[in-house]
Structure 1
Amino acid sequence: MTIETFPGSSGYIDAGPDRKITYFSNTYVLGLTVIAGIGGLLFGYDTGVISGALLYIRDEFEAVDQSSFLQETIVSMALVGAMIGAAAGGAINDKYGRKAATLLADVVFALGSFVMAGAWNPYVIIFGRLLVGLGVGVASVTAPMYIAEAAPSEIRGGLVSTNVLMITSGQFLSYLVNLAFTEVRGTWRWMLGVAAVPAIIQFFLMLFLPESPRWLYMKKSKSDAIVVLSKIYDPYRLEEELDQLSTALEEEHQRKNAVSYLDVFRIKEIRLAFFAGAGLQAFQQFTGINTVMYYSPTIVQMAGFHSNQLALLLSLIVALMNAAGTVVGIYLIDHFGRRKLALSSLSGVIMSLILLWGAFYFESIGTANIGWVAVLGLALYIAFFAPGMGPVPWTVNSEIYPESYRGICGGMSATVNWVSNLVVAQSFLSVAEVVGTSWTFLILAAIAVAAFGFVFLFVPETKGLSFEEVEKIWKERAWGKSSSHLESLIENNEEP
């Protein structure tokens, strides 16, 4: 097979087959990752900005100030939109491509931001929140999928984790923006409206980016796919990638029926993959991350630090730690492995939640007021969660599904994440009121123990494997056929 070179290709053309691929070794792939990751920035900004904006919305609209239901609806409507967007995003990605889905998400998100900025009553704000949620939902499916399909398998985890870094950076940015506009006229309108800027920037940058090479090869144009792939791989590796794509395309053509949602549950290997992926997404939320991100000022005040300014400052530090921890995860995920990183992360999360339980428990029974232990517990929680359970679920879900099911399964698992997110956001304070803050953290610790068992039993290691090799793992698990070659491959890739 003869491989042609193309103008504008990466520096790999003169590389030999033993050249090591690193995170920074291909600026073309890194550029695709950062631009696609702006969708993650929108994701993070939207989840964080509303906490500050709501304070000023209450000041302007008396109806909101007097109605807890309206306040909860304004906050949660974006999550409802994200659930819908994630559910629809899979089908949109499969039919129209990752690039078109990203452009659509940007348009809807920007429109929602403008609607909120110009809202004349609370119900218009709610409608705007629904629109930005739809955009975020589609982006949450599309960005990791686009990055994964353009990334060499050796660094796929780190590149997909860059999208999670953009999410955590967006959350941190939202806190800074909230502080920046506190003294500006039309405070909350600026807070919510400025989110349109990165959406518009991403829209125009995406116009100059290619479609995902895997989607192009499987759905549209092999020649266009080869042009893109030649900018990512050297000739030796390019031939190998094209052979794998050719095999995958042939297998897809052999399927008689169109892919459907029912197939996800009917076909055993797809069902096993979805169970692992969706379970990871659910446990990411139910182990309490958005309890910390949404309610960290409240938790800090519960710990005895009653100053609003101090609570906001400590919350800003929590957000910064979350972003910094994700940077660590970008390195570890391709060196340590997805499964090992998740198990290590959950071990630390369990310890941190038990520490939080102890701090609040001893305070509640009057033995001691050790609020500093609670703050330490929060810091440790973020330090353990951010590098592992932050990026691992998104990375694993971007690589464990066969090509023809990647959009549908990715959308369904992202929907599980958003539903779980909504449940946690709506229930934490209520549960804390019923059973007490200390026992709420102990419940989260018990869930984290269950998550550890789930990862240990059901999530395979996928570090360094091609999409086709990952697909073989699920076929092995589904049908019990032995393959000494595959077992050897997995063992080698599990080594740090």
Structure 2
Amino acid sequence: MSAPSPSASAIRGRVIAVSIAAALGGFLFGFDTAVINGAVDALAGAQSGFDLGVGLKGFAVSSALIGCAVGAWFAGPLANRFGRIPVMVTAAVLFLASSVGSGLAFGVVDLIIWRIVGGFGVGAASVIAPAYIAEVSPARMRGRLGSLQQLAIVTGIFVALLSDALLADVAGGAAKPLWGLTAWRWMFIAEAIPALIYGIMSLRLPESPRYLVAKGEFEKASEILTTVTGTVDVKAKITEITGTINTERSESLRDLRGNRLGLKPIVWVGILLSVFQQFVGINVIFYYSTTLWQSVGFGESQALTITVITSVTNIVVTVVAILLVDRVGRRIMLLVGSVGMTLTLGLMALAFSFGTLENGAVTLPDPWATIALICANAFVVFFGATWGPLVWVLLGEMFPNSIRAGALAVAAAAQWVANFFISTTFPAFAEIGLPFAYGFYAFFALLSFFFVYFKVAETKGKELEEMKDDARVERRRRAERT
């Protein structure tokens, strides 16, 4: 006799636990990219021994993004060859090595190298965690469980900023000594704790049934489909997975080619969604906000506290977005977000135009300092409730089945490149003037409104099978006519 099938509540609890464990990769994604926020000023100071100039300061912050692009590019093929779990464990090891290496760095060169190593882990986690969650989740829960990745990212950002603030507060400043090292070094080393937890929990996760079927391990796949996913007709599901895998093996990036500058129009829409998401400057807030608030008169402790409050706001509005997206729709939320971001960024640019330079720091008179603070947090609200999570939702829905994997890879790569550009150029933009920097981001927020209005279709309520590859359909029609 076969073992009795687990109850619905047992399956629900098991798949939620598995998804939370996998989403820890997203948590480390957010933590690793934001942890430098509290350390960057101490690194730039002469007393650190690093004494970073403007260009090198920007590169030290954004260097991890180089590793992100590489990690994301290779994570898929490695996961298909060795399995999802080994890639997760590898990512955890990379996070651990980066945290300790960055914290004990001797100079700027090895700091950048260790940041790039951490980027490999971030890139791998950004691809593997959502893919794994989708593959083990029952269809009825996939949307909510998939949203755990975005929630984990913003939570990781919050915890990184909170730990930065606490360590700086205990030491009396990020550049002050603490427990035998300077405080900014402990900011990096703190990441070792969640990295270890992620690695240990990854080892306890079941392998993806999709990978097991691809490797011909049908018995193991059947067990996971029954006990984790709650599949009733396991044989039919395995047959369906086998058919999908066989279809995907015949595809390549060549299928993305089209008549719009070498790519299909829908691929360009995905790329531009990714670029606009970064070109509104959201990561300037999370990477440089402590520097920003110190430049307008706040002390280091106050600036770190404001940054933590901003990250909490980001978590709250991400939850709001998850609750609204299937009710309101993707397109209208993006349009509202574009308007809100344009207004808040424009007001920030205006506020900083009233600043005066004193001893190398910008000082804002009242009421412009208050306006800048309110607008920065309002910008995070508009972004976090719309463009932050919804771009990832659209990228998962908008492409036809025949090109989805390849188009997602290209769009994700474009996002990392755009992130790298914005993060690297901010110090140079700030040297030109903060009104210029925030005016630049406001301009792209305005452009994003018109882009969504004219080029982005609504996907709410549509099945993935409804997303058609028009060029492929037309080729098939011509072939049938001949």
Q: Does 1:297 align with 2:290?
A: yes
Counterpart secondary structure, 1:210: coil
Task: From 314, 329, 338, give the equivalent of 2:330.
Answer: 338
1:370 aligns with 2:368: yes
1:37 to 2:28 alignment: no
Alignment of 1:452-463 (within 5 A): 452-463=449-460
SS at match of 1:386: helix
Which residue in the other structure is 2:226 paired with? 230
Displacement after TM superposition at 1:68 (Å): 4.3
* Superposed displacement of residue 318, structure 1: 0.9
Match of 1:447 among 444, 447, 455: 444
Partner of residue 480, structure 2 = none
Relative to structure 1, the CA distance from residue 399 to residue 105 in structure 2 (aligned partners, 3 Å threshold; closer, same or farther) is farther
What secondary structure does 2:467 align onto? helix
- Corresponding residue for residue 494 of structure 1: none
What is the correspondence of 1:363-442 to structure 2 with a 5 Å cutoff? 369-400=367-398, 408-434=406-432, 436-442=433-439
Matched, 1:102 2:84: no
Contact 2:55 2:427 in 1 (8 A): no
Is 1:355 the counterpart of 2:344? The answer is: no
Matched residue of 1:374: which SS?
A: helix
Q: What amino acid is the match of 1:129?
A: R
Listed one character per residue, the Cα deviations across residues 302-337 of structure 1 (whole Å, up to 9, x for unaligned) are 5x4343332222222111111221121222233334
What is the deviation of 1:399?
4.8
Match of 2:469 in 1: 475
- 1:120 is paired with a residue whose SS is coil
Moved more, 84-93 or 218-227: 218-227
CA distance in 1, matches of 2:445, 2:7: 43
Report if aligned partners of 1:155, 1:334 keep a CA contact under 8 Å in 2: no
Q: Deviations over 1:320-365 (max 9, x none)?
A: 111221121222233334344333332322232233344345668x
Aligned to 2:254: 262
User: For residues 402 and 229 of structure 1, do their structure 2 counterparts lie closer, same or farther at Cα, with a shift above 3 Å needed?
Assistant: farther
The share of aligned pairs that are identical, in percent, is 31
Q: Which amino acid aligns with 1:442?
A: G
| TM-fit CA distance, 1:11 | 0.7
Distance, in Å, in 2 between the alignment partners of 1:427 and 1:31 is 40
Deviation at 1:145, TM superposition (A): 1.8
Q: Using a 3 Å threshold, how does the CA distance of structure 1 residues 433 and 480 change in structure 2: closer, same or farther?
A: farther
1:421-461 CA-to-partner distances (Å, cap 9, x unmatched) read 11111223423443x43344333233123223333444444
Q: Which runs of 5+ in 2 are unaligned?
A: 172-177, 357-363, 476-482
Q: Which residue of 2 aligns with 1:216?
A: 212
Distance in 1 (CA, whole Å) between partners of 2:398 and 2:294 is: 41
- In structure 1, list runs of 5 or more residues that go unmatched: 14-24, 482-496
The corresponding residue for 1:181 is 167
Q: Is the 8 A contact 1:325 1:386 kept in 2?
A: yes
How far apart, in 1, do the equivalents of 2:189 and 2:264 lie?
41
Mapped contact 2:54–2:428 kept (Cα < 8 A): no
* SS of residue matched to 1:209: coil
Q: Within 2, Cα distance between the matches of 1:68 and 1:433?
A: 8
Deviation (angstroms), 1:391: 1.3
Letter in 2 for 1:392: L
Give the alignment partner of residue 125 of structure 1, picking from 88, 104, 111: 111
Measure the CA separation in 2 of the matches of 1:477 and 1:263.
10
Q: Does 1:329 align with 2:325?
A: no
Do the aligned partners of 1:116 and 1:193 also contact (CA within 8 Å) in 2? yes
Count residues in correspondence: 457
Q: Which residue of 1 aligns with 2:274?
A: 281
Please list the CA deviations of residues 202-248 of structure 1 after superposition, one character each: whole Å capped at 9, or x if unmatched.
12211221223334344544443343333455566878856753553
Specify the alignment match of 1:486 in structure 2: none
CA apart distance, 1:90? 3.0
Structure 2 equivalent of residue 248 of structure 1: 244
On the 8 A contact 2:136/2:229 being kept in 1, the answer is: no
- Provide the C-alpha distance between the structure 2 equivalents of 1:405 and 1:223, rounded to a whole number of angstroms: 30
The alpha-carbon deviation at position 82 of structure 1 amounts to: 1.4
Find the counterpart in structure 2 of residue 169 from structure 1.
155
Contact 1:53 / 1:188 at 8 angstroms: preserved in 2? yes
Asked whether the equivalents of residues 61 and 287 of structure 2 are also in contact (C-alpha less than 8 Å), the reply is no
State how 1:33-182 maps to structure 2 within 5 Å: 33-57=19-43, 63-65=49-51, 67-182=53-168
Distance (whole Å) between structure 2 residues aligned to residue 374 and residue 108 of structure 1: 38
